[in-house]
């Protein structure tokens, strides 16, 4: 049943008094067809609205819109970044089908492991947009705000919009305060706020188009960076008392969102003022998940993992609210997974048009029955690019409760049950092999059906520098940005090219490394002496990681080995990059510099190393260092959320790095956070000797967690077929 038929049915049953008919003539259709307002926020996270769970942001108008219509609690953007989603919202096509798969113009990273394909950096002139469909049916059409779908030759006017206010090639405004620097939008009075202006333009458009059906495409630049807001609103949020357990704290972002909410409120009021409220379909959504980068992130998508530019739910889950009085029941919600391409299909059916879109499904049946399902087996994504938000080239598929992410660099796969694990914290790829194989086949078939483009492989660069032999294996010593690094290579790399990374004291107790080399691991070490895991050391580790994982093709998630003070390096880097760590093995690791070298507890004092702590971390006094909240023992929540397994080996008589001030604290807190940690105590042993006489538990731990499923399968085959070589 079409929406038009639904309305006739509801009318005859006495439910509503609106008649929507599909007439032959444009004039007749114009008299009965609904107006459509499609509002798209920029970088708005799934949980940024009051109605979607925020306890910090204030969004009364959007909350009211949700109460007057239907909220879709499992809504997805077509991509983890903006331009592809915006193209999908206008065409109803997957970005992969459009070959518009990144924000325009994207990034060109020549030194990455893969190179992006030759993708389309504009909305193609041959694509028929929602505006063009409606315009041919008598609709007036207007675009207000962000466009970001190509240069001057593909402005909104070239894609079916009669009016364009502000849309050009830019992905963000030069300024949110006039003068804006937007050629397609005249500057207002000095200091006028852009979001206010975009709302006013929409209100003015409504006021002048009351006698003809219209499509109003309002794409606010907010809440994209630069984070700029009206000072009085910023002050309001800065004065708010802390909310226990709240992870959304950015006052500027909150102020920007309040302005956006107020602009939406004025649009809704304008509809009411002009008697258009009943016959106007209003849709509100976002182009991707919320931005969570930087030391003061714009927002938090918790409990969803990560944010914009990542393959996880935080990157692609978005708010979606639809209001259409008399058709969509108020105070209703729908948990059926839906996606950006569904919106043009929904609008076309609502307007009585029969045009079919390639990949979207009309949500009309969900208006009638929110528990219904749509006639498709899955949703899918294909992003053959790198993004500063954390994404390396990947593809993903959601079918039912299951979601598969496949990384195109190394073929690594992650499988999550979203019903049981919405935070995507437990990878079930090893436990659910049948489901993994099923989704992998479905994803591959879909990629073929949309002619997905694939990134090009950069040849894996050989290790340069001085070469020598280390216990029968090739050792390479080389420099990265002036820092001394080394890698020991196996005779044949295991699938996925797994590796372990030493925080300090490479070569001490080498038995586990030798065994892992025999299993196809690489062993790596970066010399950053006397840094003790400082922020500068973490930055240097980031550069070394990029060199090894991208230029030399090593796995995206190494196992970390922190011996003694090396624990500070490993844990601090892992805290900053939990998605890049497979596991951590600590051997009498320092997990709190107040214990060693500070000796503010039972640890042994090292004046020299304590001075390094003060200098490298920038502390002005012992008191400031002791109050520092960034020691590993205080920063375990992110590691536990990422389900990073830990192994600690320690002597229970250690007087230098007392286990109960370091390993013991980590174990207690990590377990309370739901993390997994294995402890191997050495009775009566002091800080030395390190390691175990039999290193098998260490080797097995690193092998189990740092090697890919393909590497495990390969090793099983090599044991059963000793003549088989590594691929």
Pairing mode, if any, of strands 583-587 and 559-563? parallel
pLDDT digits (tens, 9 = 90+) for 436-479: 999 999 999 999 999 999 998 887 888 989 999 999 999 999 99
What is d(CA 586, CA 654) in angstroms, rounded to the nearest whole number? 14
pLDDT per residue as tens digits for the range 160-178: 999 999 999 999 999 999 9
More confident residue, 290 or 389: 290
- Is residue 500 within 8 Å of 516, Cβ to Cβ? yes
To which CATH superfamily is domain 3-102+117-370 assigned?
A: Alkaline Phosphatase, subunit A (3.40.720.10)
Task: Dump pLDDT digits (tens) for 27-86.
Answer: 333 346 999 999 999 999 999 999 999 999 999 999 999 999 999 999 999 999 999 999
Residue range 338-384, pLDDT digits in tens: 999 999 999 999 999 987 778 999 999 999 999 999 999 999 999 99
Tokens in use for 209?
Answer: 């188009």
Query: Of 12-16, 116-120, 479-483, 630-634, where does mean pLDDT reach its minimum?
Result: 12-16
- What CATH class is the domain 383-457? alpha beta
Q: Of 422, 382, 418, 380, which Cα lies nearest the Cα of 397?
A: 380
653-666 average pLDDT score: 96
Q: What is the mean pLDDT of residues 549-553?
A: 86
Structure tokens at 20: 């929507």
Nearest to 338, CA basis, from 314, 310, 313, 366: 366
Half-sphere exposure of 585 (CA within 13 A, CB side): 27
Least confident of 135-139, 148-152, 389-393, 631-635: 389-393
Per-residue pLDDT, 721 = 61
Q: How confident is the model at residue 667 (pLDDT cuts 50, 70, 90)?
A: very high
Report pLDDT for 15.
38
3-state secondary structure at position 405:
strand
For residues 393-415, give the mean pLDDT. 94
CA distance 698 to 117: 41
- 723, burial (CB in 10 Å: exposed 0-12, middle 13-18, buried 19+): exposed
**How many C-beta neighbours within 10 Å does residue 496 have?**
25
pLDDT value at 626 more than 90: yes
| Residue indicated by tokens 């849309």 | 167
pLDDT of residue 75: 98
Q: Give me the active site residues, please.
A: 82, 148
Between β-strands 35-41 and 280-286, what pairing exists: parallel, antiparallel or unpaired? parallel
**Neighbouring residues of 49: CB distance < 8 A, sequence distance ≥ 6:** 57, 59, 62, 63, 66, 319
| pLDDT band, very low/low/confident/very high, at 711 (cuts 50, 70, 90) | confident
Alpha-carbon gap, residue 175 to 134, rounded angstroms: 33
pLDDT in the model for residue 723? 53
Both tokens of residue 281?
Answer: 């379909």
| Mean of the per-residue pLDDT values of the chain | 92
Average pLDDT over residues 7-34: 40
Least confident of 4-8, 104-108, 116-120: 4-8
Mean pLDDT value of segment 317-332: 97
The reported pLDDT for the residue numbered 13 is 40
Kindly list the distances between the CA atom of residue 137 and the CA atoms of 3, 167, 202, 349, in Å, as whole numbers in the listed order: 17, 24, 22, 13
> Tens digit of pLDDT for each residue in 225-252?
999 999 999 999 999 998 988 999 999 9
pLDDT value for 546? 87
Q: What is the residue extent of each domain of the chain? A: 3-102+117-370, 383-457, 466-720
Whole-number pLDDT of residue 412: 87
| pLDDT score of 29 | 37
pLDDT of residue 27: 35
Instruction: Look at residue 17 in the predicted model and tell me its pLDDT.
Output: 29
pLDDT digits 0-9 by tens, 598-623? 999 999 999 999 999 999 999 999 99
What pLDDT score does 458 carry? 80
The domain over range 466-720 is classified in CATH as 3.40.50.2300: no
> What pLDDT does 19 receive?
28
Q: Can you spell out the DSSP letters for 127-166?
A: PPPHHHHHHTTT-EEEEEE---S-SGGG-GGGGT-SEEES
Q: What is residue 716's predicted lDDT score, i.e. its pLDDT?
A: 78
Q: Name the nearest CA neighbour of 322 among 691, 72, 660, 696.
A: 72
Residues 6+ apart with CB under 8 A from 82: 42, 43, 103, 146, 148, 171, 224, 287, 288
- Which pLDDT score, from 0 to 100, does residue 388 have? 84
Q: What pLDDT digit, counting tens, does each position of 481-528 carry?
A: 889 999 999 999 999 899 999 999 999 999 999 999 999 999 999 999
């Amino acid at each position: 049943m079409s929406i038009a038929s639904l309305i006739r049915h509801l009318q005859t049953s006495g439910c509503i008094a609106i008649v929507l008919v599909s007439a032959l003539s444009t004039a007749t259709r114009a008299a009965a067809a609904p107006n459509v307002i499609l509002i798209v926020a920029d970088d708005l996270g799934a949980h940024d609205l009051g109605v979607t769970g925020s306890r910090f942001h204030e969004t009364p108008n959007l909350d009211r819109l949700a109460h007057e219509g239907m909220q879709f609690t499992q809504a997805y953007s077509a991509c983890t970044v903006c331009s592809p989603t915006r193209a999908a919202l206008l065409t109803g096509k997957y970005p992969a089908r459009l070959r518009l798969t990144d924000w325009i113009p994207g990034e060109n990273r020549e030194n990455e492991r893969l190179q992006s394909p030759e993708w389309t950096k504009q909305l193609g002139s041959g694509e028929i947009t929602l505006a063009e469909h409606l315009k041919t049916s008598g609709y007036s059409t207007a675009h207000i705000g962000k466009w970001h779908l190509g240069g001057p030759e593909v402005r909104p006017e070239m894609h079916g919009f009669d009016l364009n206010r502000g849309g050009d090639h830019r992905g963000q405004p030069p300024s949110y305060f006039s003068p804006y620097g937007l050629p397609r939008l005249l500057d207002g009075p000095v200091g006028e706020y852009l979001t206010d202006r975009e709302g006013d333009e929409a209100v003015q458009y409504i006021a002048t188009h009351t006698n003809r059906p219209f499509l109003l495409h309002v794409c606010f630049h907010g809440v994209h960076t630069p984070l700029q807001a009206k000072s009085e609103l910023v002050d309001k949020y800065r004065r708010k008392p802390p909310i226990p357990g709240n992870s959304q704290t950015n006052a500027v972002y909150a102020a920007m969102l309040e302005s956006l909410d107020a602009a939406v409120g004025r649009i809704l009021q304008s509809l009411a003022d002009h008697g258009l409220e009943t016959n106007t379909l209003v849709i509100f959504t976002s182009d991707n998940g919320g931005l969570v980068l930087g030391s003061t992130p714009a927002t938090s998508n918790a409990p969803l993992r990560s944010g914009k530019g990542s393959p996880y739910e935080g990157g692609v889950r978005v708010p979606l609210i639809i209001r259409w009085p008399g058709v969509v029941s108020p105070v209703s919600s729908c948990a059926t997974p839906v996606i950006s391409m569904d919106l043009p299909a929904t609008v076309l059916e609502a307007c009585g048009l029969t045009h079919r879109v390639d990949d979207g499904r009309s949500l009309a049946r969900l208006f009638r029955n929110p528990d219904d399902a749509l006639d498709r087996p899955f949703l899918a994504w294909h992003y053959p690019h790198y993004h500063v938000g954390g994404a390396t080239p990947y593809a993903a598929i959601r079918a039912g409760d299951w979601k598969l992410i496949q990384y195109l660099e190394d073929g690594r796969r992650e499988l999550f049950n979203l019903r049981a694990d919405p935070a995507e914290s437990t990878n079930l790829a090893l436990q659910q092999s049948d489901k993994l194989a099923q989704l992998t086949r479905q994803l591959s078939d879909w990629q073929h059906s949309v002619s997905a483009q694939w990134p090009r492989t950069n040849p894996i660069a050989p290790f340069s520098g001085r070469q020598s032999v280390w216990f029968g294996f090739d050792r390479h010593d080389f420099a990265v940005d002036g820092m001394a690094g080394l890698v020991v290579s196996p005779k044949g790399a295991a699938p996925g090219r797994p590796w372990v990374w030493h925080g300090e004291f490479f070569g001490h107790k080498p038995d586990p490394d030798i065994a892992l080399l025999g299993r196809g691991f690489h062993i790596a070490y970066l010399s950053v002496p006397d840094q003790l895991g400082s922020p500068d050391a973490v930055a240097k580790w980031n550069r070394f990681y990029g060199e090894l994982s991208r230029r030399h093709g090593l796995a995206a998630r190494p196992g970390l080995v922190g011996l003694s003070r090396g624990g500070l390096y490993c844990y601090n880097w892992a805290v900053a990059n939990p998605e890049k760590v497979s596991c951590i093995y600590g051997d009498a690791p320092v997990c709190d510099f107040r214990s060693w070298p500070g000796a503010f507890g039972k640890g042994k004092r090292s004046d020299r190393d304590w001075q390094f702590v003060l200098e490298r971390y920038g502390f002005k006094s012992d008191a400031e260092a002791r109050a520092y909240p960034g020691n590993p023992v205080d920063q375990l929540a992110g590691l536990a959320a990422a389900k990073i397994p830990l192994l600690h080996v320690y002597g229970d008589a250690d007087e230098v790095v007392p286990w109960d001030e370091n390993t013991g604290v980590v174990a207690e807190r990590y377990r309370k956070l739901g993390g997994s940690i294995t402890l191997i105590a050495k009775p009566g042993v002091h800080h030395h000797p390190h390691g175990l006489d039999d290193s098998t538990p260490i080797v097995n731990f690193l092998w189990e967690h740092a090697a890919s499923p393909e590497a495990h399968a390969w090793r099983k085959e090599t044991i059963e077929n000793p003549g088989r070589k590594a691929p």
